[in-house]
Amino acid sequence: MTPPGDPSWDEVDRAAAISVAVQAVTLFARPDQPYEQWWSDLAPLMSVQAQMDYQYVDPTNVPVRAVTGEGVLIDDASASVAGVQVPTDVGPYTVLLSRTGEASPWLVERISPPESVG
């Protein structure tokens, strides 16, 4: 049995992870947005570490322009970490998410482009 407060997996958790990943890539994929708007929309979905890692990204350098389908959970080995693949106009992006507890939101750790773009 999972101790109270520790994350567990159910369909609601899976759907939430996919939803956050798709939302993050959708917000990331807006190179035409002014930096201030782009960052203020994206940052709340990110962990503290990801905010430090992505705060200097120039959105005009982001190659993706659109999410083109539904996200798919590709890694659910841990109830605290999830990998979601999100289809885009330049290929599938992979989003790594984490959460600290059952009541904690999923937060983006990394948004990785397809190998052909990286």
Residue with more model confidence, 62 or 5: 62
Q: How far apart are the C-alpha atoms of 18 and 12, rounded to whole Å? A: 10
Tell me, what's the pLDDT at 32? 95
Q: How far apart are the C-alpha atoms of 83 and 98, rounded to whole Å? A: 9
Tell me, what's the pLDDT at 3? 46
Q: How far apart are the C-alpha atoms of 97 and 112, rounded to whole Å? A: 12
CA distances from 91 to 18, 35, 65, 76, 115 (A): 17, 24, 11, 22, 9
Q: Which helix (H) or strand (E) holds 24?
A: helix 11-28
One-letter amino acid of 116 = S
Q: Is the pLDDT of residue 1 over 80?
A: no
Q: Which helix (H) or strand (E) holds 98?
A: strand 93-98
DSSP type of residue 32: T
Prediction pTM value: 0.91
Residue with more model confidence, 2 or 6: 6
Tokens of 105: 């939101």
